[in-house]
Chain A
Amino acid sequence: MPADQASIMGIFKHEDQTAAAIKALRQRADWTVARVHSPLPSHAIETALAPPKSKVGWFTLAGGITGFFTGFLFAAFTATRWSLMVSGKPVVALVPFFIVGFEFTILFAVFGNVLGLISQARLPRFGPRPHYDDRFSGNRFGVLAQCRPTQTKQLIQFFQDRGAETTGAESQPREV
């Protein structure tokens, strides 16, 4: 956050208010939406923010492909160490090794998924989160907007017009 930007957090009760506020904020060139908090994933907010598609899937796919070949090759490798024909089955038997490959596919795809989640969502994150309100996990939505320090009163008014409480640099936090 550049030093000359002021941040105001608008705390909304309802999702549609939040989405409308985000849309209005994004239309103004001089104000930006830094963060949006919600207690549940919201389709309306997603439409308002119009974000790019998440890349987590690529991690999952990469993990899955790696897993498939790892599983297969691993099973084939261990079989070729002794090269014994067991019960008349070929040493490198595709039919049963497919199962090992399949399980490894799922396992590594899940690892890829977790890796993708951690890297993309940037968790874990233990530092302090300024302007975070404990009610965001419960039943409130939050929009953190940034503007120039001279415009803070306008921004606070903007939020209050749309039914939000505000907390931030230049405003008094309202008691619930």
Chain B
Amino acid sequence: MDGLTYESIDNTVLATLSPPRRSYWITVMLLFAGVLIGASCWLYQILVGIGVGGQNNPVHWGTYLINFVFWVGIAHSGTLISAILHLFRAGWRNPIARAAETMTVFAVCTAGLFPFIHLGRVWMVYYMLPIPNQRTLWPNFQSPLMFDVVAISTYLTVSSLFWYTGMLPDLAIVRDRTVGVRKKIFSILALGWTGEYEQWRHYTRGYLFFAALATPLVISVHSVVSWDFALSVIPGWHTTIFAPYFVAGAIHSGLAMVLTLMIPLRKIFHYEQIITMHVLESVAKTIVFTGLIVGFAYATEIFMAWYSHSTVEMESFWWRAFGDYSLEYWIMVICNTTIPLLLLFKKIRTTIATLFIISLLVNVGMWYERFVIIIGSVAHDFLPHAWGLYSPTGIEFGIMIGSFCLFFFLFVLFVKHMPSVSMTEVKETLHEGETHAG
């Protein structure tokens, strides 16, 4: 971070909030068009029925669940970066913390849509609310799906509060450097933050507690999502390793998405001095680590499938690798475990293009991992006569496109209207560097 001063940090970031070029609005329009495609597909599904999707016997959980788990997973590494790395005092997290938290909030929002989409008859969602309905039925809190409701809503609430609290000092910076309507809006948003010591004193304490609470939350939320599957008895699903395996996988895909977002952002907004190569390298090294954990989990499951000598278990894992969905399986294995190992080579880690491509491949691999787990187990479980296949329909693809577009749409809107780098935290890193040198 040579050559950075508090002023240059502020100027660089505030420059990104200037009125956007035409290309920006075109991007926004295109993404919005994608969102509309998704919305219209969903509307069609609501009017016609859940049968327009490919789910049926035996595979009753399809791309809606895959996307749900995918987006919740992406959300997790945002919290890893902003909360867990804050606890570890890893300075390299500071330049990307804001964008990562934003990614978390929008990813959870996107993920949260999928239980509704998967319901079919969306108006029945009130069954999940903790109020007795007209049959005096309460939700059954022993169900993992109810754990999900509690966990995901907690995660959304906590992430949003954490995100907003983290932004307060930066909103004050924008307020102090703008005029007119924008000044009024940011004055309200900044809640009267004046950087007084009395405010900082409580703020740093509160932020520390946010981080300390968000950490077990991250681990518990994706464990709860994994238990949607593990608490069943289906081979390939009922296995104790799921909780840490899913958490590691979530962080793996989320970090890859961080790179996918940061690399273009850095280029377009001229953040090269702030989001340095060192930051991207650190993310890449962490991806190697999470990739190894995911690989370890794959190997353990395969070994244990053999060790258990359970016919069903062995058949399930054999079929995954060599059956009807073997292509998806091998995409998963190669993209998640083998390709990240390339990041062990410094040349590859420090070349932007390869870093970007690898991040895309990891995301593809992690999407297919959820495919292999969700579809692969249900399609081929206990009784051979009940085996069946699944392929997503056009409506499902439409909704999936809509969800991806929604995520990027929200993110693109955010980065042009709010500070996408936490100026305050970058100043803190600068500050640490000075005090250590001095």
CB distance from B173 to the nearest CB of A (A): 4
Which of the residues B130, B147, B165, B168 comes within 8 Å of A96, measured between beta carbons?
B147
CB distance from B123 to the nearest CB of A (A): 22
CB distance from B313 to the nearest CB of A (A): 21
How far, in whole Å, are A139 and B176 apart by their CA atoms in the complex?
Answer: 12
Any chain A CB within 8 A of the CB of B69?
Answer: no
A38 pairs with B210, CB closer than 8 A: no
Interface residues of B in 403-438 (CB under 8 A from A): 424, 427-428, 431, 435
B141 pairs with A96, CB closer than 8 A: yes
Which of the residues B7, B198, B227 comes within 8 Å of A139, measured between beta carbons?
B7
B147 pairs with A100, CB closer than 8 A: yes
CB distance from A75 to the nearest CB of B (A): 4
Across-interface contacts of A117 in B (CB, < 8 A): 165, 202-203, 206
A100 pairs with B196, CB closer than 8 A: no
Across-interface contacts of B427 in A (CB, < 8 A): 39-40
Please judge, given known A-B contacts A40-B427, A103-B151, whether A79 and B191 are in contact too, CB under 8 Å: no
CB distance from A103 to the nearest CB of B (A): 5
Q: At the interface, is chain B mostly helix, strand, loop or mixed? A: helix
How far, in whole Å, are A93 and B195 apart by their CA atoms in the complex?
Answer: 48
A138 pairs with B6, CB closer than 8 A: yes
A35 pairs with B141, CB closer than 8 A: no
B140 pairs with A86, CB closer than 8 A: yes
Q: How large is the interface on A (under 10, 10 to 19, 20 to 34, 35 or more residues)?
A: 35 or more
Q: Which has the most chain A C-beta neighbours within 10 Å: B130, B132, B141, B227? A: B141
Across-interface contacts of A75 in B (CB, < 8 A): 141-142
Any chain A CB within 8 A of the CB of B265?
Answer: no
Across-interface contacts of B224 in A (CB, < 8 A): 99, 103
B10 pairs with A139, CB closer than 8 A: yes
How far, in whole Å, are A127 and B191 apart by their CA atoms in the complex?
Answer: 10
Which of the residues A37, A97, A121 comes within 8 Å of B202, measured between beta carbons?
A121
Across-interface contacts of A97 in B (CB, < 8 A): 141-142
Interface residues of B in 143-197 (CB under 8 A from A): 146-147, 150-151, 154, 157-158, 161-162, 165, 168-169, 172-173, 175-177, 187-188, 191-197
Across-interface contacts of B10 in A (CB, < 8 A): 138-139
Across-interface contacts of A122 in B (CB, < 8 A): 198-199
Please judge, given known A-B contacts A56-B206, A81-B132, whether A114 and B161 are in contact too, CB under 8 Å: yes
How far, in whole Å, are A70 and B162 apart by their CA atoms in the complex?
Answer: 22
How far, in whole Å, are A122 and B198 apart by their CA atoms in the complex?
Answer: 9
Give per-residue flags for A89-129: 1 if the beta carbon is below 8 A from chain B beta carbons, else 0.
10001001101101110110110011011001111111101
How far, in whole Å, are A37 and B196 apart by their CA atoms in the complex?
Answer: 4
How far, in whole Å, are A117 and B162 apart by their CA atoms in the complex?
Answer: 12
How far, in whole Å, are A126 and B146 apart by their CA atoms in the complex?
Answer: 41
Which 9 A-B pairs have CB atoms at the shortest separation, nearest pair first? A139-B6, A125-B192, A124-B191, A78-B138, A75-B141, A134-B176, A117-B206, A36-B197, A54-B205
Can you list 18 A-B contacts with CB-CB less than 8 angstroms, sorted by A residue number? Answer: A40-B424, A42-B431, A43-B435, A54-B205, A56-B209, A60-B213, A78-B140, A81-B138, A96-B141, A96-B147, A99-B224, A99-B227, A103-B150, A106-B217, A117-B203, A121-B198, A126-B188, A134-B176
Report B's interface with A, CB cutoff 8 A: 5-7, 10, 130, 132, 136-142, 146-147, 150-151, 154, 157-158, 161-162, 165, 168-169, 172-173, 175-177, 187-188, 191-206, 209-210, 213, 216-217, 220, 224, 227, 424, 427-428, 431, 435
